[in-house]
Amino acid sequence: MRFGIVGTGKMGHEIESLAAQRGHDVVWTLGSAENREGKGLTPTKLAGADVIFEFTVASGVKANLLTLAAANAKVVCGTTGWSQDVDQVSRAFEAGSGALVYASNFSVGVHLFWDLVARASALYPPAGYAAYLTEEHHAGKRDAPSGTARKIAAIFESKAGRALPVTSVRAGTVPGTHRLVFESPEDEVEMTHRARGRSGFARGAIWAGERVAGRTGVFEFADLLKEMPGFVER
């Protein structure tokens, strides 16, 4: 398949590297300087790619996705911080023949971790266990809490019926660590997902791209994962 990549940050480079290993061709990449308000996404450029990966920043993602929807593109989006625009963007894709799959995290391990969070949040009683979440990412990550942390907090609240305190750390080169703790006077239970690098996120994004190419409509990554043998649905 032919891939186009919008965003030349760490994830864009990781996707480009892994795509070649999986036998795909990255036919172009597009940085922010070339793509003000989505204007770098020209019909000629888009016609050359089967799937477009959008991994940029919250301030630019809406313009990019609306441009891609108008072009009926097949898109994988891993940018976070645009939840307020999901409905508008979804309508734009559903009005055409394009397709969008999006997620705050494309790691299969994280999605399975969310299943564990749902189960644990329903098990530990609020009368005996206080709960909190800490999340750590590299100094260059702009959003805090992370999209993954916000998802963990939402799952916890839906299952436990109470809010989850979240602490964010932005320092160094940490790819991503999320630690959910249930603490009582007698003991402490800790659940941790620690990314060893970005390859797991890139692998999941490419897996999604391989499957969205022949579809139309809007999907969350979890929708596609339900098709994976052995995947446990929350």
User: Which tens digit of pLDDT belongs to each residue from 115-152?
Assistant: 999 999 999 999 899 999 999 999 988 889 998 999 99
Task: Tell me the CB-side half-sphere exposure of residue 96, using CA atoms within 13 A.
Answer: 18
pLDDT higher than threshold 50 for residue 180? yes
Rg of the chain on CA atoms, in Å = 18
pLDDT higher than threshold 70 for residue 201? yes
* C-alpha separations of 124 from 121, 157, 163, 172, 225 in Å: 6, 13, 14, 33, 27
pLDDT higher than threshold 70 for residue 231? no
Q: 3-class secondary structure for the chain?
A: CEEEEECCCHHHHHHHHHHHHCCCEEEEEECHHHCHHHCCCCHHHHHCCCEEEECCCHHHHHHHHHHHHHCCCEEEECCCCCHHHHHHHHHHHHCCCCEEEECCCCCHHHHHHHHHHHHHHHHCCCCCCEEEEEEEECCCCCCCCCHHHHHHHHHHHHHHCCCCCEEEEECCCCCCEEEEEEECCCCEEEEEEECCCCHHHHHHHHHHHHHHCCCCEEEEHHHHHCCCCCCCCC
41-45 mean pLDDT? 93
Please, which pLDDT band fits residue 26 given cuts at 50, 70 and 90?
A: very high
C-alpha–C-alpha distance, residues 98 and 159, integer Å: 35
Contact 182, 188 (CB under 8 A): yes
In this prediction, residue 18 carries a pLDDT of 93
Please, which pLDDT band fits residue 230 given cuts at 50, 70 and 90?
A: low
C-alpha–C-alpha distance, residues 93 and 90, integer Å: 5
In this prediction, residue 142 carries a pLDDT of 81
Write out the two tokens for 159. 């299952």
Domain boundary assignment for the chain: 2-106+199-225, 108-194
Nearest-10 crossing angle of helices 58-70, 86-94: 20
pLDDT higher than threshold 60 for residue 48? yes
Catalytic positions, written as ranges: 137, 141
In this prediction, residue 134 carries a pLDDT of 98
Q: What is the pTM of this model?
A: 0.82
Q: Quick one: fold of 108-194?
A: Dihydrodipicolinate Reductase; domain 2 (3.30.360)
In this prediction, residue 25 carries a pLDDT of 96
Closest CA to 83 of 143, 166, 162: 143
Average pLDDT, rounded, for the chain:
93
Structure-model confidence comparison of residues 9 and 29, the more confident one: 29
* C-alpha separations of 181 from 52, 99, 222 in Å: 38, 38, 24
32-55 mean pLDDT? 93
CATH code for the structural domain at 2-106+199-225: 3.40.50.720
Domain 2-106+199-225 and domain 108-194, same fold? Reply is: no
Structure-model confidence comparison of residues 177 and 32, the more confident one: 177
In this prediction, residue 234 carries a pLDDT of 45
